[in-house]
Structure 1
């Protein structure tokens, strides 16, 4: 089945960068530093290396079946039974992850900025706008996120650069205060988030225009490499600026923004960070909702894809309000359960499909 909408190579690469960098550039520092301390940046780079293997599987399957998404070539390789098994598992995982991201965004605002506003207000507004964007289509998303990604990167760079006078390189030592075990633990967490997200992006790749240029794969690998470097820089900057205090912060970048003060002109720019958080979370949630919609409609052969956008969004909304009673439960879900679920419900099925695809010689390429 061919998709009517298409996006260019550069738009696809930027969409990929927005997807894996989006909310992670805001949320990744706290959990990684809490686990691996000064070695958190090494954990991130190790997780990034694992991401290259996941991306290689996704791109190999896409090259073999360029007109098909993960669900579609799973149907082709494993039949409808296998596709239903793996597709339903993936859909459940995506619903859970999207609800997690939504709840995390709401928790940030209710604990840091707008403490009197109920969570359901934040959740409803961002999910409603995200659903409208999904309904507008992949082309609108690609054009919109093109500029938004640059804005987020600019805001984060702005916050770090304005803190150059607060850098203390000595805070980076010792690099391995507790040995390699916490480093590997951090890499394990990074496998579940953000680098397992690469596999979910396989649902979007068929929207690439037919005139795919040869360097596309190299640009995707370069995008993943840049993602690792950018996230590692934010972790290193957080440690050098906040020192031992960084271990107690869930959002170190937010605290870094709060301490900025240049005379009477530039100070307390955490509201700018709050804007970056909204934008980054909006991009990630929108793309997750789009992928959920693709999985559900392709799995059950629903022709009108837009009809399922709001029911899927409603389910995410309800899950985001009912799955967790407090921030601790959300943290436990992210640090303990997400990697386990991602491995068994997403990575293992992807590996099985890739192995099956390796033994199937027929190539369903574009004509």
Structure 2
């Protein structure tokens, strides 16, 4: 088995990112009082071309690529600088409730979800603002008794080529005063944990207090994750089509825009459309919204209205910009439609 690899991601004064990895334990963490507020910025960039995943993370967190026993795959673990967590690697979906972490398992793992109350990604208002579509049937939000999420089980709807069908991302938020209780399916009475039979219908309840700061960090890291799936390797014309306006159509304000795009073109069901003159002046910008469930690989209709002041130039272009919450330039993609401005 390959040795465990700790990666330190360094941002130099020249804004170049470098990655330093070693097979030894990391330096001791600074005291909590000296740590910056990492909820405001995700300073470090991590990218793994093998599994087509990229993300941003706080500089106070550690990322470890942990080789698995099969010698072919790995788990990617992100966690706060904590010696006890380092000794527990690789992290799976049954981690200690006192830990906040994100575990990426591109090849999956043969295990069941933790016993908990669940909400689906399709129905919950607490769904993280992810940049990629998810399998809304398999993906789950794990809830405490008061309805707040304590973990997310995320199965990509259109995973990268190197991922297996059982690949997933699991994110857990540190919970203090953690208490688990089981209730009988028929009587509603409390049961000893050893007699709890969740598959048979017994209700398993978790109580506790989330670490709000860690919850914000985890949500921001999840939002930054970019998965390069098969669609992202296609030409833009294979992922988005524009019905109105047609190429070189005469346009006036307000401009009605309609079309359809595959789910991965959106983030949170939206993407940006910009209008430029032939002299590259930005005339206007708007947001197009999906007219249906966007967390899928199929085409989803969109429409919007764009208001603009006619330019002096006679022609211009509409730029349909693929949503890219990660901010990584290699994931930028756009589709252009040329237009002709009608005389006032």
TM-score, normalised via structure 2 length: 0.23
Q: From the two aligned structures, give the one with the greater helix fraction.
A: 1
Higher relative contact order (CA 8 A, sep 6+): 1
